[in-house]
Every structure is written in C-alpha cells, then in structure tokens.
Structure 1
Amino acid sequence: MNILLILCLTLLIINTARINGQQCMDLMPPFVPSTPLLFCEEYSKYGCCSSTDDQQLRRLFNDIRLQNRQNNARRTSSTCLQNVKSFLCARCSPFSAEIFQRTIIQPGSGHMLGLFPSLCGGLCKQFVRMCSNILLDYFAIVGTNGNRMEEALFSQPLTNSTATDNFCNIVKIPSHKRQYCYPTVDSTHGESSKFTEDRTNITDCVCLQPLRKSLRSPIVITNANDDSGRLFIVEQIGTVKVILPDGSSPNNDFLNIKSTVYVGNKLSQSGLLGLTFHPNFKENHKLYIFYTLKKDNDSDLVSRVEEFRVNDTDINSVDTSTSRVILEISKYSSNHAGGQLLFGKDGYLYIFTGDDGGDGDDMEIAQDLFMLSGKVLRINVDVTDFIAGKEYSIPSDNPFAADESLGLPEIYAWGLRYPSKCSIDRAVLSLTILALSDNRIFCGDVGADTFEEVNIIRKKANYGWNIKEGTMDFCPECLRGLPEVKITYPIFEYRHTIGVSVVGGHIYRGCASPNLYGQYIFGDLKNGDNLKQTWKGERLQMCTASQCVGTLTNKIEPYILSFGESEEGEIYVLTTSSLSLTSSYGHAYKIVDPLRRGNPDECKSARPVSGISLTGGVYPTVTPRQREITVPTHVTSQTTVTPRIATRRRQQRPTSETRRRNRQQNTRRRNRGPERGNQRPRSRLSFIQRLFGRRGNNRNQSPAHTGNNQRRTNNPASNRTSGNQQTRNGIRTIGGGAVVVSNQGATVVRVNGKR
C-alpha cells in the first residue's frame, strides 16, 4: 500500500512539474473566490482575484475605455477592447506572477512585475499593430500604481516595426519559461485546467514560510488572543520573545527568568517549558508559565506554575514584580516534567505533567492518584481557596473534587508518561452525543520502548502508563491479582521504526490554507532522520523548490521541537539543527499550502503583509467567524477494561503515618514546602489497597476479565491504530488516514472528513 502511494505521488509530481508555478502577483498562492466573479468570470472557480479585485478591474477597464474615447476620434474596435479586458483579467490567473514577471535588460534592473502580460508567440506584435491607439490609455490608467518603464517606453507612438519589436522584446517571457506565456498557461484553457481543477481541494505537499531564526531551543510558540497579531516564542533556557505582526521584534525580551530557571545539562528536559495567556488577557493582562527550579539551597527540584502580568506601560514586556506562584510539584528527577499549559473552553487551566522520568516509571507515579505527576490537572486560577491555603480552587466537576479520599482533587486524567505538546480544537462542535465534550484536547504522549501515541484527553480517563504503552502491555505482571480498571487507548500510535519521540500538534482551523482544514498536524522529534520509513496512509511531501517560490522554502532542520497556532488558527512549527539548549540553531516557520490559499476578502491571513490587494484596492474588514463542526458519534478513544479505578468507595485513608515515614527512607527526597506537590511514591499494591480497602483480589474473577491482561498479538511491521480494526477504531474513527511529510517530520491526520 505504501509503495503504491509513493509511486503515485512520484508520478503526479513528475507530470505536473511543467506547470507547478501557481503564484499570484502578490507572491501568494491562488484561491477559490467565495462568490462568482462578474467581470473576470473565467476565474470564478480558481484564481487570484476576489470580488474586491474583480470590481476594481472592472473600474480600470471602464476608465481605460472612457479615456480612449476622449483621446481618439476614431472608435476602438471591440476586439481591442476585449483584448484589454483579457490583459486586465490575466492578473486573476493562478499563474499571474509568472505571466507578469520578467527580466528587464537595463542598468541596475532585474526581476520585476510588469504592467503588460507576456504574450505567446507573435500575439504581442499583432496586438500592438492593431490596437496601438489604446495602449497609451492602458498604461496611463494601470500604471498609476505600478512600474512605469513600459509606459515610458510607449510614450511615443509606435509607428514602425522596430519600435514594436523593441517593446515586445522587453515584455516577452524568458525562453526557459515559455510555458507560462499568456494565454496558453491560462488556468481555464489547455492542459493546465485539469491540473488546477484537480488540485483545488487536496494537498499533497506543503511549504514553509520562515518567521525567525537563531533561536535557542525554542519549545513553545503561541498567541495571546488579544487581537494584537503577536506571536510569542519560548526558549527553554528561560526567555520569551515577541514576534510582531510585521515579523519584527522589540529589542528587549518579553520575559527573562534565566537566573531562576533550572535547566540542567545541555540536553536536559528541564527549563522554561510552558506558556499560556488568560482567556481574558486583553483586559486583565495575565499570563502563566511552567518551569523547573531548585529550592531550599538547591536541594529540592520542583515544577512551578506561576502567574505574571504585562507591564502597564509596555505590552511587550512582563512585570516580574507581579509574580504569583499558583502551584508547585516536587520532582524526583530532571526528566519528564511535561509543562504544557492550556486554558480550556470552560475557562479552567489545564496542566500536563510527566511521570518524572523513572526507569519505566518504577515508582508507579502515573497510576498513583495521590501524586500530581503523570497527570492532566485542571484548576480555577480566578478563584483563590483561602480555606485550603491554595492560590486556586478546584472545579466542582473534577473527578475527585467530591471525595478527596479517592484521589487528589486537581486530577482530571492520569496514566501519562511524558505528554508532549497538547492543543484544544478551536472549532465550535455540534455534538451528537452528550458524552462527548466540546473541549476536545489532543495530546501527544512520548513512549518508552516501542510506541508513540496521540490521545484525546477526557475527564476521568486513564491512559494506561505504565500498565500499557499505547495499546500494548508494558508491565502485564503489574496487574496480577488486582481488580480491573478502564484504560483509554490512543487514537493513533506508531512504532519506533518510524520515529522516536512524538511531538503533538494542532487541528488546522485557519483560513489561509483551506485544503488543510480539519487535519491534525503533528510530528516526531527525529523523524527527519528516518528518510526511508513510511507511515501507513497517504503521504504528504515537502513541495518541490519550484513550487515553494518567493519567500517559501522546502528546507527544514532535522529536529522538530513544537507546533503552535496564531490568533487566526495558522499553524507554525519550531525546529532546530542541534538539540543543545545553548546553541542558536532554532527556527520558526509557518506551514503553507502553495497550491491554494483562502479568499483574501474573507481571510486576513491570506492577504499580503501590505494589506493592499493586487489591483491596489483595500480589502474589506474581516469579522471572525467560528465554524461549526459536526462530530460523528463514534469519535471517541477506544477503551478496554483492565484494572477498574474508583468504582468502589474507599472508607478511609489507610496509609498510616508510620508507613509514610518508612516510605520516605526509600525515596530520594522529602516533599517539602507549602505546595500541593507529589506525595511519597507507594507501591502499586499499596495504591490498590488504599483505593479498595484491601479487597483487591480477583480469586473469584471470571476468565473473561483476566484475559484482558494478556499481551495482544501484533504484527511488528505494522503501524497500529487503536484496537484491532482500523476501520472502526483509532485514527479511522475521526475520518481519515495518517499523512506524513516523509522526510521532514510533520504528520497530518484528517479530522471530521470533508470540509
């Protein structure tokens, strides 16, 4: 299957290589107009003109015709007028950048966009001889906002063949690009029409728009959702940088806490790991960070969630004097801290923590409901619990909020190893079942020995670590003699023959690349090193250099570190060529579909930086619209019954103070300070005994139950989805197969079927 797809894509690239230069005069991809064009109607299905551009071209044509009538006693033929209309509408061609781009052989000149299209064959000379009386009016009207070289050349009437030849030589297309001459290359004629019609609704490849370079281990890129258009890039060493809408940055860092953050060695998983902004940031100016530090004379390592506010006089810098420590979690190693912070649609702060990096979670932290590591936590940072002495409160519907004897009230979900880059689907979901929350959180979880996985985070879900790694048993002996728990399987997993460390991403909900809409884009840290490996499913390549034209590139560093979103839902990727935290080899890119963009009339992200249309007009104001998505009833992670958790109410907390002191002697450090941190690790047997009051034996258990603890049969060569039937479980349940940039590390999973 994979070989067939690879061959098909190779043939497709070869067949379309001659006509792959689709680019508008603003050096951006073509698009599909939202409404049919009334003047340049031949480009209503696909091209470079919006309704705004179409109206402006009609005005230009009417002005040319009116001026020509005033300046010429002899009436211009309808054929000449039709040609002028065609030349104006050539700006709407998907190949308009090639049609109007030429090299001028003049001192100090180079590539430029002309006012007159490059015509095929002898059409230029034929037109000049027949319609020379209207060309002056054409240049006088069209050239007011463009290059005037052609108009200056034509300021004298072309009364002889030499002058005509000189003009046509200047506006001709280079010989190596003759396939782009007008009107042969017109997207509604000849062989290119099939190409454009076939390519407008699918994406086989992507390009990258460089945003920033020379970053030091960039690990987060996010936005403040304050309508400022800014992006914020977190460097793991302890700094945050601001990227303004024009791509520039202030001289100072947005935040610099390098003196406080504990990073460890150059390849450490500690440091400044998370950043998010309050949903009401535009008014309260609050933001939250997750980082590691050492306390009490460097004897204790903790993970801290801290609140800050921006400076009252400078929105591009943080006022560090406004610090408020929200939560601290004691750590037993410098690995697997986690660090992702998200505000859900419910307004609560979600905190993703790792299992502390023990050998196979030997202290069984991820399954211990009285420890905060290896979990998804959910808290309310807007309300302080003075009675409990916490800088936050507990949402009333948290799994253990009503009975803390069953687990810590902060816990929302558990059983995670090393959650890597999680995101919330920003779409407004039209739910078909009450059990499915509108708060869909997608999260990558880095595996141990065999599998990497992607999960949808749900309340009170156990994702199995360290009982399971993905859908496979990791520690089956840990379940012997224990009651059964409900484990939620990932929606997608892949083996280490493909990658080594999943990097979670986002569902694309932007408008600049509509062919990517509804697809989950994620990657793998070292997927760039696995050039010969393939994903099961459709492959998405980096586009060729001839397709990634202008400022776009198809080159990317070998290591993918993170993905992020802009306010408009555009997806960015952070990469590096060195995993050293101190090296300045990090880059930030925007993911772009070079074959089709959104309609600039409706999509701000699809407009050029100048904000001016290709006809010189001003785009209309865009009102953000939330797109409602209908989620199929089967879009849930598959679950299986292995040890059942919290189905019986524990009568009391059975762990005595004496037992706790004994456990302390076997741990690396004590849990100190006022923070709501991890309790001392306990054995799995102790944990189950606490949970079920020592009734946790299964001597009377049916064989059907015990069978779930056996290792599943699995083909090592396959890349599994959840469960055994791909058409029912795992990634197929959300509407499509996995798609990967085969040698550059980005993976795409289509969500919700058709756009």
Structure 2
Amino acid sequence: MPGQTDRVKDVLRHLNSKQERALCQNDREAGRSAPSPRAFTHSCSAWPVLLWAVGVTLLISLRPASSHPQCLDFAPPFKPPWHLEFCTQYQEFGCCDQKTDNMIAERYWDIIEVLETQGLDLCADSLKEIMCQECSPYAAHLFDAEDPYTPVRELPGLCFSYCQNFHSKCRHVIKYLTQNQLLQDTSQRDMSTFCTMMDLSDQDYCYPKVLNSPGLNSNLGQVAEDPQGCLQLCLTEVANNLRNPVLMLHTEQVGFVWVYLHDGSRLEQPFLDMSGDVMTTPWLGDERGFLGMAFHPKYKHNGRFFIYYSIQVNSKLEKIRISEMKVSDSDMNVADPYSERVILEIVEPAANHNGGQLLFGLDGYLYIFTGDGGKAGDPFGKYGNAQNKSALLDDPEARPEVFAYGVRNMWRCSVDRGDPVSRHGRGRIFCGDVGQNRYEEVDIIVKGGN
C-alpha cells in the first residue's frame, strides 16, 4: 500500500465536536491480570478488541537468535510482581505470578497427602520439579503449546534419560499428574514407550536439558544486543490468512473486519462486511479500499467506532468516506450494519494517495489523515494541494478543521505514550510520510505545521 511515488500532501482533519471529546484511556493496559492477544482459552466473550495487537516494523539483527522463551498463554515471560513461595527457581523470570504459583502448590500438597495416605513413596522433589515447569520461561515449548490449534501436553516434555530415572522411582505418581489414560496405562507397562512419548522432538527444550543450554539461558530475561547495537527481539504472530491487511485491527482492504479470539483463532462471521460498498479493483497495488478504523475511547460503554474507505459514485466520481458505526445491541462480535452515519466525504481526483489513518489523540479528538488526491509533482492548482494557502490554519479563508498541511500521503500514524516515568512526549503524533523518488520521512505533527 505505501509504495507510492508521487509528491503531494496530507491534510489532517480535526472533528471539532463535543461528542468526540472523550479522553483516550486504554482500558486494556498491559499487566499480568490481563491476558495477551493470544493469551488463554477461558470462556470469555470475544470483544473485537483487535486494539491489543500491535503492528511494528523492527530492525533485527541478522545473527541467529536461538532463545525463544514463551509461556503457555502465548505471552512472553516476566518477573513476578511478588516473590514466589513454591516454584522459587522461577521467581526472577518465568511464567507464573503469585496466584498461579499458589495454585500449583495446592495441587502438589493434595497429591502428597494422597501418597502419604496410601503409604507410597512421596517422590516429592521430582514431583515438584515437573509441576513447576508450568512456570518455566520455556513452558510453551515444554508443553507443545506454541500452536493454538493443537492440544497442550498435560505433562512437560522430559528428556529420555531423566524420564527413565523418574519412571523407575516415581511412576506411581503419574496418574495424579495427568488424566491421559494412554499415558497412565503406558507408564505402568513399558518405561521405554512411555519415555518416548514424553520426549520432545526438539532436544534443546526437553527438561532438564532446557536449563543447561547456554544458547537458551544466556541473557535470559534481558535484552540481548549484538556488536553492532542491534537488539534481538521475539515476534509473535497474531493473525494470518488475511488478504491485504491494512492495519493491526484485522481489517482487510477489500472491506472486511474480523474478530480474533485470545487463542489466535478467528470467528467465522466477520465483525463488519463493507465489501459491497468499498471501491476496490483487481489492480495489484491499488491504494483504494477499506483503509482505516478506530474504536471510540469509550467503545466499551458506547459501542461506537469509525471507519475510512473509498467509494465510487455513479460509476465515475471517486471519494473517500469517513463514517461512524456502532456494535450490534445483541451480539458484541458483530457490527450493526444499519448504524452507519456518514461524517465526511472528500472527492479524490486520482486513484492514489488516499491516506487512511484514523486515530484518537489524547485530547479526545478524532484525527483523520487524508491524502491530497495523488499524481506526481502535486499538479493541482497554482500551488498544488500541499501548499495551497487557502488551507493554512491562520488564513481567514482556511477551513477550521484543517490541523496541519504540507505533507504528502500519511499512510500510518501513532500517538506517543510518552516516557513511562516522566511522561515526557506523551500525546505527540508521529506520522510516516511517503516520499516521491528519493526521500521518505517521519513527521511529528503540530497544530498549523507545514
């Protein structure tokens, strides 16, 4: 989409309406009490909270990065806010908070109590080791939980030699660790078959080898930096099988908006289907289509959201349209198709440079980043659209909703969250502006700026 090659401007339009002036507060701030975008499979209703998924362009070291820690909930490991009482080996960096640690401890002592009652060997150390692997920073690997479409192991992957030792001394505890009847039966009949089933194809991650691998455990919990200063980062897939996705709200250029559940699966019915209204063509690289979407800062309470898309009138006149819509009263996973209220339409003299970003600033305003109409060299009028004096903010004839000018085609923008401590810079708007032949740029948008 952003591969344009002409020179123009973008106009940032500012909806000066009281009903849009809600303070932008993200109700879903990161924290261990809140799940990640692909976090868990509890029976939660699925918000169209595709706001959680964050799209980034990263400069990553070309040096192979072997370590890939991941938790059972698909989230990265973390340092618990409070120390762990039971699985203490993972209290500096792992996948358990205090609540999960307490739950594991309760299950452990319940098993110990049964073993004591039956007069069996307690196998306390081995039992604790295996149960605490849920807290390992590599829990997703140990339990084969990386793929949300396959069953998660009930027991962690055990290296063959470790499994043999565990089986010879403690096979009587296996029935208390898993409900898997095949594992229970095999553990009583054949140690070799059982340990083959418990092993992992990737030997780097079976327990306890996973603890001893320098490639996995060096700098674990720290940001690794190569000699050139590039950071090693882990990426998580949040969605796939999309056609021309245009932003990380799971919108497709052809006019569909989808809801993804926390386990990474997608609902069969789209949240919104605008494919019958959106102007699209088979032309590869066409910049028209469904280009933007923004949830109202108080969407949780009012169900309002805004969309930005291309239309064609009478098979000839092309426009971009910005509309308000609402979620269905009866189904939170579906938009009300009859709720559309058109806010703004702008005639497009060319097929490219249609902008498309919608976002709410921290001032509560909805910012609309439009293209100027396209074509190379900004050929419209005496000065072109980019420097049209009638669009100046301090010109008596200027439109009051124009916020800034002199840029070309702001394809994607973002609001600065600011320094986490001082909050310095909070609320600034950054935009990537497409260059014509030689330059690309990132701009900080200021009121009246050129």
Q: Secondary structure at the match of 2:218?
A: helix
Deviation (angstroms), 1:408? 2.2
1:370 counterpart residue number: 390
Report whether the alignment pairs 1:450 with 2:438: yes
Report whether the alignment pairs 1:306 with 2:339: no
Check whether the contact 2:245–2:253 (CA below 8 A) recurs between aligned residues: yes
Q: 1:285 & 1:205 partners in 2: Cα distance?
A: 35
Q: 1:313 & 1:100 partners in 2: Cα distance?
A: 38
CA deviations 1:659-683 (Å, max 9, x no partner) are: xxxxxxxxxxxxxxxxxxxxxxxxx
The correspondence for 1:115, drawn from 130, 151, 155, is 155
Q: 1:322 & 1:125 partners in 2: Cα distance?
A: 64
Summarize the alignment of residues 489-500 of structure 1 with structure 2, pairs less than 5 Å apart.
Answer: none
2:246 counterpart residue number: 219
The correspondence for 2:199, drawn from 137, 162, 173, is 173
Deviation (angstroms), 1:264? 5.9
CA RMSD of aligned residues (A): 3.9
Check whether the contact 1:239–1:258 (CA below 8 A) recurs between aligned residues: no
Q: What amino acid sits opposite 1:450 in the alignment?
A: R
What TM-score, normalized by structure 2, do the two folds share? 0.69
Check whether the contact 2:224–2:232 (CA below 8 A) recurs between aligned residues: no
1:414 counterpart residue number: 405
The correspondence for 2:344, drawn from 293, 310, 327, is 327
Report whether the alignment pairs 1:195 with 2:235: no
Summarize the alignment of residues 381-392 of structure 1 with structure 2, pairs less than 5 Å apart.
Answer: none
Deviation (angstroms), 1:254? 1.5
Q: Secondary structure at the match of 1:332?
A: coil
Report whether the alignment pairs 1:185 with 2:210: yes
2:290 counterpart residue number: 272
Report whether the alignment pairs 1:39 with 2:59: no
Deviation (angstroms), 1:451? 1.0
Check whether the contact 2:74–2:140 (CA below 8 A) recurs between aligned residues: yes
Rate the CA distance shift 1:309–1:67 in 2: closer, same or farther, 3 A: closer
Summarize the alignment of residues 87-126 of structure 1 with structure 2, pairs less than 5 Å apart.
Answer: 87-96=130-139, 99=142, 113=153, 115=155, 118-119=158-159, 121=161, 123-126=162-165
Percent identity, please: 32
Summarize the alignment of residues 484-523 of structure 1 with structure 2, pairs less than 5 Å apart.
Answer: none
Q: 1:281 & 1:358 partners in 2: Cα distance?
A: 37
1:336 counterpart residue number: 353
| Residue-pair matches, total | 378
Deviation (angstroms), 1:337? 2.1
1:251 counterpart residue number: 269
The correspondence for 2:126, drawn from 64, 78, 83, is 83
2:427 counterpart residue number: 439
Q: What amino acid sits opposite 2:234 in the alignment?
A: V
1:150 counterpart residue number: 183
Check whether the contact 1:100–1:116 (CA below 8 A) recurs between aligned residues: yes
1:386 counterpart residue number: none
Q: What amino acid sits opposite 1:83 in the alignment?
A: S
Summarize the alignment of residues 336-735 of structure 1 with structure 2, pairs less than 5 Å apart.
Answer: 336-363=353-380, 364-371=384-391, 399-400=393-394, 405=396, 407-426=398-417, 438-462=426-450
Check whether the contact 1:369–1:408 (CA below 8 A) recurs between aligned residues: no
CA deviations 1:515-538 (Å, max 9, x no partner) are: xxxxxxxxxxxxxxxxxxxxxxxx
Q: 2:197 & 2:282 partners in 1: Cα distance?
A: 60
Check whether the contact 2:160–2:195 (CA below 8 A) recurs between aligned residues: no
1:291 counterpart residue number: 309
Check whether the contact 1:115–1:150 (CA below 8 A) recurs between aligned residues: no
What TM-score, normalized by structure 1, do the two folds share? 0.44
Unaligned runs of 5+ in 1: 102-109, 156-162, 223-231, 373-398, 463-755
The correspondence for 1:68, drawn from 101, 115, 127, is 115
Q: Secondary structure at the match of 1:451?
A: coil
Unaligned runs of 5+ in 2: 1-58, 145-149, 226-230
Q: 2:270 & 2:221 partners in 1: Cα distance?
A: 48
CA deviations 1:301-336 (Å, max 9, x no partner) are: 433323333444444444455443322333332221
Q: Secondary structure at the match of 2:234?
A: strand
Rate the CA distance shift 1:328–1:369 in 2: closer, same or farther, 3 A: farther
Q: What amino acid sits opposite 1:204 in the alignment?
A: Q
Q: What amino acid sits opposite 1:115 in the alignment?
A: L
Q: Which structure is higher in strand share?
A: 1
Q: 2:92 & 2:224 partners in 1: Cα distance?
A: 11
Q: 1:182 & 1:219 partners in 2: Cα distance?
A: 41
Q: What amino acid sits opposite 2:181 in the alignment?
A: R
Check whether the contact 1:97–1:113 (CA below 8 A) recurs between aligned residues: no
Check whether the contact 1:120–1:183 (CA below 8 A) recurs between aligned residues: no
